Amino acid sequence: MTTEMQLRTMAADPSRVDLKIIAGFVTPGARVLDIGCGDGALLMQLSEEKNVDARGIELSQKGVNEAVASGLSVIQGDADSDLATYPDKAFDFAILSQTIQATHNPRIVLEELLRIGEKAIVSFPNFGHWRIRTQFLLAGRMPVNKNLPYSWYDTPNIHFFTIRDFIELVDEVGATIEDSIALHGRGRKIAPTVSRQIWNLFGEQAVFVLSRPNSSKS
């Protein structure tokens, strides 16, 4: 009952269409860690539809309590401090959805995701979208929109970056892009064939699947 409601909420929220895309990348029976899992809606969906071994980390007490009470294995913690305790490649998929921009050390977090996960799935809002660019250019104000709904003084999003910036970081940490999808508003996919410049201009958000063998880590 609760699960159905959560899924409906998830499906009804077009800004979280990334969750559906992420779910599409996860293989059945996989070991999954969802970092910043909220009330566990994605984990619940993955357990029910793909029978995954679902684990989560969530910062908010409310989210954790709801997730644990609904039977998920979720710990209260955050991406910055709690990933270090997991062994290498403990998961098939380490998922960080719409959270990396809120971490203190995005690079370290990304490296940790690549260390503990065979694959890391990262979704994030694209600060390079044309509407944000024009809002910033014409109004001279920090953009506020449905993907970035906070004012500058109360936003949890402390690192703003674009799809191109993210790809640069991926290169820097020596990870491989296994798959990637950029999304228009209302969740439509942008053709994968067009250039990343176009993605960066028209993608409101993006989902990347990354991998890196641990041996490459110093």
Partner 1 sequence: MTVAQTDNDTNGERIGAAAHAEVEHPSSAVVRFGADRPLDLDSGGKLSPVQIAYQTYGTLNAARSNAILVCHALTGDQHVANEHPVTGKPGWWSLMIGPGRPIDTDLYFVICSNVLGGCMGSTGPASINPQTGKPYALDLPVITVRDMVRAQAMLLDHLGIETLFAATGGSMGGMQVLQWAASFPDRLFAAIPIATGSRHSSQNIAFHEVGRQAILADPDWCGGSYLEAGKNPHKGLAVARMAAHITYMSDEALHRKFGRSLQDRDALTFGFDADFQIESYLRHQGMTFVDRFDANAYLYMTRAMDYFDLALDYDGQLAKAFAGCHTRFCCVSFTSDWLFPTAENRTIVHALNAAGANVSFVEVETDRGHDAFLLDEPELFTTVTGFLKAAARIRGLS
Interface ranges with partner 1 (CB under 8 A): 53, 55, 61, 64-65, 68-77, 82, 85-87, 90
Residue 201 beta carbon to partner 1: minimum distance, rounded to whole angstroms: 40
Report the residue number, 5 or 194, with the smaller CB distance to partner 1: 5
| Helix, coil or strand: residue 147 | coil
Nearest CA-CA partner of 182 in 166, 200, 165, 168: 200
Nearest CA-CA partner of 212 in 116, 122, 90: 116
Pair 106, 100: CB distance under 8 Å: yes
Residue 7 beta carbon to partner 1: minimum distance, rounded to whole angstroms: 18
Residue 82 beta carbon to partner 1: minimum distance, rounded to whole angstroms: 7
Residue 111 beta carbon to partner 1: minimum distance, rounded to whole angstroms: 17
Q: Who's near 104: CB < 8 A, 6+ residues apart?
A: 80, 158
Q: How far apart are CA 78 and CA 98, in angstroms?
A: 13
Query: Tell me, what amino acid is at 124?
Result: F
Report the residue number, 65 or 176, with the smaller CB distance to partner 1: 65
Report the residue number, 76 or 211, with the smaller CB distance to partner 1: 76
| Helix, coil or strand: residue 51 | coil
Report the residue number, 83 or 207, with the smaller CB distance to partner 1: 83
